[in-house]
């Protein structure tokens, strides 16, 4: 099986892009930080996702993380070193990247091994199909950072798992293990870790063998249904107060955050 591989550098990390047998495979590779994405990596990811369309032989996009992590989401240490305005810009770019992947005119498969946290979970939810290993863990610890979900993230979650489970994820900050995530519909398929890559290729080839026009028509119809439900909160960024700076500092210093302000 012939594989074309391109490694795109983004600071100290790599976004690895491969093409094989009608499948385009993007691998997030930053093992020293659980594949957490820097601002540059989010930009690179969006560019690579669009480059997939340059080759008409690519029928399916597969998105995964290297090693035993999907991605821990955005790099919180990076946020701790920039101003709130810059952080706001970074969140906007992140959402644009996720929406770009969500709206690609070819099917997308997210392959989740290990943690998919915060923005990493949102990235997984943007994929059409999600395959998880028995080591997958999904969570949204935004309450520890003093931020909320942007409207698109909240919409994706509520439409998939309902309001009660969305609140459970956010209010407790706990990690949902693979079997629970599968039962809730956050994972479409659950396989043993040792079989994950083989299953990924098999599923990718199965989808790639379908009519591209049929799949695109269905994908567009489903997206129109989802878009027809308005979000009640139209905020573009997840900042709702002054707790974000303390949340970032606590994360970097590996301690519990000291949130003192009370919501009005």
Strands 115-117 and 137-139: parallel
Task: Give 93 or 79, the one with higher predicted confidence.
Answer: 93
Residue 157 has a CB neighbour count (10 Å cut-off) of: 22
Structural domain includes residue 105? yes
Q: 84 lies in which domain range?
A: 14-209
Asked whether residue 129 is assigned to any structural domain, the reply reads yes
Alpha helices in the chain (DSSP H): 39-51, 76-80, 84-102, 119-125, 151-172, 178-184, 196-208, 212-227, 244-253
CATH label of the domain that carries residue 35 = 3.90.226.10
Flag whether 103 is in a domain: yes
pLDDT in tens, 220-261: 999 888 887 655 444 455 655 566 666 667 667 777 777 776
Q: Is residue 179 part of a domain?
A: yes
What is the reported pTM?
0.85
In a domain, 259, yes or no: no
The pLDDT value recorded for residue 264 is 52
* Angstrom distance (rounded) from CA 121 to CA 143: 15
Both structure tokens of 163? 């309001």
The rounded distance, in Å, linking the Cα atoms of 260 and 243 is 8
- Name which of 3, 5, 7 is nearest 15 in CA terms: 7
User: Is residue 2, in this structure, part of any structural domain at all?
Assistant: no
What is the average pLDDT value for the chain, to the nearest integer? Answer: 86
pLDDT digits (tens, 9 = 90+) for 149-193: 888 888 889 989 999 999 998 899 899 999 999 999 999 999 999
Q: For position 60, what pLDDT does the model report?
A: 98
Other C-beta atoms closer than 10 Å to the C-beta of 183 total: 11
- pLDDT at residue 58 is higher than 90: yes
Residue 254: what pLDDT? Answer: 72
Quick one: tokens of 193?
């870790």
Question: Would 219 be classed as within a structural domain?
Answer: no
Residue 261 falls within a domain, yes or no?
Answer: no
- For residues 44 and 29, the answer to whether their CB atoms sit within 8 Å is no
Nearest to 228 by CA among 236, 220, 237: 220
> Position of tokens 């063998």?
209
74 beta partners: 37
What's the pLDDT at 230? 59
> Which pLDDT value is given to residue 84?
72
Tens of pLDDT, residues 195-214? 999 999 999 999 999 999 99
| Total number of domains constituting the chain | 1
Local confidence band at 218 (pLDDT 50, 70, 90 cut-offs)? very high
Nearest to 138 by CA among 159, 164, 110: 110
Cα dihedral sign, 20-204-65-122: positive
């Amino acid at each position: 099986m012939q594989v074309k591989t391109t490694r795109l550098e983004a600071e100290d990390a790599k976004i690895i892009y491969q093409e094989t047998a009608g499948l385009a495979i993007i691998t997030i590779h930053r093992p020293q930080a659980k594949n957490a994405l820097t601002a540059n990596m989010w930009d690179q990811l969006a560019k690579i996702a669009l480059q997939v369309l340059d080759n008409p032989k690519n029928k399916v996009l597969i998105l995964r993380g290297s090693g035993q992590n999907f991605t821990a989401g955005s790099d919180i240490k990076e946020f701790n070193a920039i101003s709130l305005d810059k952080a706001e810009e970074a969140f906007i770019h992140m959402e644009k990247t996720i929406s770009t992947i969500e709206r690609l005119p070819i099917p997308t498969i997210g392959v989740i091994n290990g943690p998919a946290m915060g923005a990493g979970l949102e990235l997984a939810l943007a994929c059409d199909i999600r395959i998880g290993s028995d080591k997958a863990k999904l969570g949204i610890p935004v309450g520890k950072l003093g931020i909320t979900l942007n409207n698109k993230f909240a919409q994706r979650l509520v439409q998939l798992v309902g309001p009660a489970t969305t609140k459970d994820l956010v209010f407790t900050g706990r990690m949902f293990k693979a079997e629970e995530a599968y039962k809730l519909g956050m994972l479409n398929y659950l396989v043993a870790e040792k079989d994950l890559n083989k299953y990924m290729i098999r599923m990718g080839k199965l989808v790639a063998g379908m009519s591209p026009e049929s799949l695109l028509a269905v994908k567009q119809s489903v997206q129109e249904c989802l878009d027809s439900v308005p979000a009640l909160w139209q905020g573009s960024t997840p900042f709702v107060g002054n707790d974000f700076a303390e949340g970032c500092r606590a994360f970097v210093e590996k301690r519990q955050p000291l949130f003192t302000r009370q919501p009005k």
